[in-house]
Every structure is written in C-alpha cells, then in structure tokens.
Amino acid sequence: MRITLNGEKREVPDNTNVMGLLQFLAIQHQRVAVELNELIVKKDRYAETVVKEGDSIEVVAFMGGGSGR
C-alpha cells in the first residue's frame, strides 16, 4: 500500500500496524516518536494501531548531544 512517510510517498506492506512498519523500516521503536495523520501514537499502542492506504506518518528520532561543555 502507499503511504506518505516523512513527506515522501512510500510503498509498504499491506495490513501492517505501526510496530510492523517500524520493523519494516529497520527503525528501533524505543527511540522514535510516531505521528499518524497529525496525531501522536503512544508507544503502548504501536502494535494495535493499523496503518491504512493513504495515511500520512511522521517518524521522529530522538537525538542526544549538546554543547559538550
């Protein structure tokens, strides 16, 4: 099925949930936030939140760092 992922059209497996999508994309679910159609998906709902044709998904990775001072 086709979705928009971080602003780009992507082909992903049919009948997948957010957790399955992250696995397909080789993204560690512990270190990201996911927005589905402009709504944040809580981590404990990744396995039950189904991705549908035409959905818009934003995946944001947490980054460490800082000034190092």
Domain span at residue 27?
1-31+40-50
- Quote the number of domains for the chain: 1
> Could you tell me if residue 60 is inside a domain?
no
Which H helix or E strand runs over 29?
Answer: none
> Could you tell me if residue 21 is inside a domain?
yes
pLDDT tens digits along 17-68: 999 999 999 998 888 999 999 999 999 999 999 999 999 999 998 776 666 5
- Report pTM: 0.86
- pLDDT of 62 reads 76
> Could you tell me if residue 63 is inside a domain?
no
> Could you tell me if residue 64 is inside a domain?
no
- pLDDT of 31 reads 86
> Could you tell me if residue 19 is inside a domain?
yes
Which H helix or E strand runs over 2?
Answer: strand 2-5
